[in-house]
Structure 1
Amino acid sequence: MSDQDADRLLTQLLPSVPFDGWTEAALATASRAAGFDEQAWRRIFPRGPLDAVLAFSDWADAAMQATLQTHDLTKMRVRDRVALGVRARLEALAPHQEAVRRSTRVLAQPGAAPDAARAVYRTVDAIWRAAGDTSTDYNFYTKRGLLAGVVVATTAYWLRDRSPDHAASWRFLERRLDEVLRVGKRLAQLKNLGDHLPLPFRRMRRT
């Protein structure tokens, strides 16, 4: 599967998802509309709807990164860069909100959890890297774990939000970021405290 073929198929698939869902029938119809043979989707997305949903997530990540590249992030606080990344991704998805809603059902199916987790990880990793994160220690994982919760919660809120221009979602996002920043600072303080414990206690902390 080439990225170009996946994007081409997604372009034809997305308008029908609100009506037909992420289904094999919809993929077959989209294959024909994209100029492929009817079964081409099986080569492009071997696992069918699940692979299509994952490609959709990657497409949103790429759209988010393209938006961030149009901003001078060096003039922004790291927190604001992260907020912009989350918001830019959701704004890219806004024309396909029903497709996002239906994608959650695909990702909730038995066996899809590892793929769903990896997709969220790719998203938060892309946001942190775009924000200039260069951490390699435990902060690398802490930052991504905390942001994953923000992305999932904000997306769920955004799917229910009917406020003009999703203004309520952006306020929700700001509140969640403030909360995780406080948690992150506390975790860092605890780690620093642990690093100064006597050796036996440091060993206990790692068990």
Structure 2
Amino acid sequence: MVKSKKTETDHINITKDLLLSSILPNVDFDGWSSTAFDQAIVDSGVERSLAHQAAPRGAIDLAVAFHKKGDELMKNGYQPENFSKLKYSEKVRELVKSRIQVSKAHKEAVRKGMSLFALPPNINEGGQLIWNTSDVIWNTLGDTSTDSNWYTKRTTLSAVYSSTVLFWLGDESDEAIDTWNFLDRRIKNVMEIEKAKAKIKKTSFGQSVFNLLNLFQKPSDDHKSDFPGYNG
């Protein structure tokens, strides 16, 4: 078998993974900072020029990579056969829980990341990362919506996910049971809203409103980069 040659992108990704592994122990103390990034370069043994090629903005690029890695781990851990008997809301609940659990070994890094992306220069990118997580969850579950539901599903889940993460960061209960109870309440609230929407849709006024909303279609793959939630 002929081994394929690694591309420049492969080398960049490998370097970024090395830097990410090296920075995480320092993030607990120094946050996603230039100090932590410089120490990661030393600890990883990566040449400084290559490190800045892999992460031009330094630690913030590694914080983004850390979040995306969590999305990837959640997606790769999804086993459809374990979800076959669950209601749709329960499937969403389990994936949100899974997404949080893949980061439990680095809870402080998540906390520092939330602080980083709450800063004015980074807040839009932070929102994109949350949106991307919601998009990954819905796509993993096979969402095929193309109308306004594409937006509302991701907007609603973004709110549920972000509020649950914030609760989890302050949760000291055994096995984070309080967090999962909080998540259950948030999903229950969403289901109540969906029931109310269904009733409104049955009225002539509601039909007119939702027909108007359905003019908004899911962005095509060619134009996703123009969409504020896109983080590809």
Which category of TM-score, normalised to the shorter sequence, fits these structures? 0.7 to 0.9
Q: C-alpha offsets along residues 112-165 of structure 1, whole Å, 9 cap, x if unaligned?
A: 121111101110001111122111111111111111110011000000000011
Give the corresponding residue for 2:131. Answer: 121
Which residue identity does 1:81 align to in structure 2?
K
User: Please, which runs of 5 or more residues in structure 2 have no aligned partner?
Assistant: 1-8, 216-232
Aligned length: 201
1:166 and 2:176 equivalent? yes
Give the corresponding residue for 1:134. Answer: 144
Give the alignment's TM-score, normalised by structure 2.
0.79
| Distance change (3 Å), C-alpha of 1:72 and 1:20 | same
| Distance change (3 Å), C-alpha of 1:157 and 1:195 | closer
Which residue identity does 1:163 align to in structure 2?
S
1:22 and 2:32 equivalent? yes
d(CA) in 2 for partners of 1:8 and 1:170? 33
Equivalent residues in 2 for 1:5-20, closer than 5 Å: 5-20=15-30
What percentage of aligned pairs have identical amino acids?
32
Give the corresponding residue for 2:120. Answer: 110
| Distance change (3 Å), C-alpha of 1:103 and 1:8 | same
**What SS class does the counterpart of residue 77 from structure 2 fall into?**
helix
d(CA) in 2 for partners of 1:45 and 1:131? 32
Equivalent residues in 2 for 1:70-89, closer than 5 Å: 72-89=82-99
**What SS class does the counterpart of residue 75 from structure 1 fall into?**
coil
Structure number having the greater helix percentage: 1
Find 2:109's aligned residue among 99, 105, 109: 99
| Distance change (3 Å), C-alpha of 1:69 and 1:6 | farther
1:185 and 2:192 equivalent? no
d(CA) in 1 for partners of 2:36 and 2:175? 30
**What SS class does the counterpart of residue 102 from structure 2 fall into?**
helix
Give the corresponding residue for 1:53. Answer: 63
Which residue identity does 2:57 align to in structure 1?
R
Find 1:69's aligned residue among 79, 83, 95: 79
Give the alignment's TM-score, normalised by structure 1.
0.88
Q: Is the 8 A contact 1:29 1:38 kept in 2?
A: no
Q: Is the 8 A contact 1:28 1:39 kept in 2?
A: no
User: Please, which runs of 5 or more residues in structure 1 have no aligned partner?
Assistant: none
Q: Is the 8 A contact 1:161 1:169 kept in 2?
A: yes
Q: Is the 8 A contact 2:34 2:59 kept in 1?
A: yes
d(CA) in 2 for partners of 1:59 and 1:118? 15
The alpha carbon displacement at 1:63 in A equals 1.1
d(CA) in 1 for partners of 2:47 and 2:146? 46
Which residue identity does 1:183 align to in structure 2?
I
d(CA) in 1 for partners of 2:20 and 2:200? 46
d(CA) in 2 for partners of 1:196 and 1:17? 51
d(CA) in 2 for partners of 1:95 and 1:150? 22
**What SS class does the counterpart of residue 74 from structure 1 fall into?**
coil
d(CA) in 1 for partners of 2:40 and 2:125? 23
Q: Is the 8 A contact 2:171 2:179 kept in 1?
A: yes
Find 1:34's aligned residue among 41, 44, 50: 44
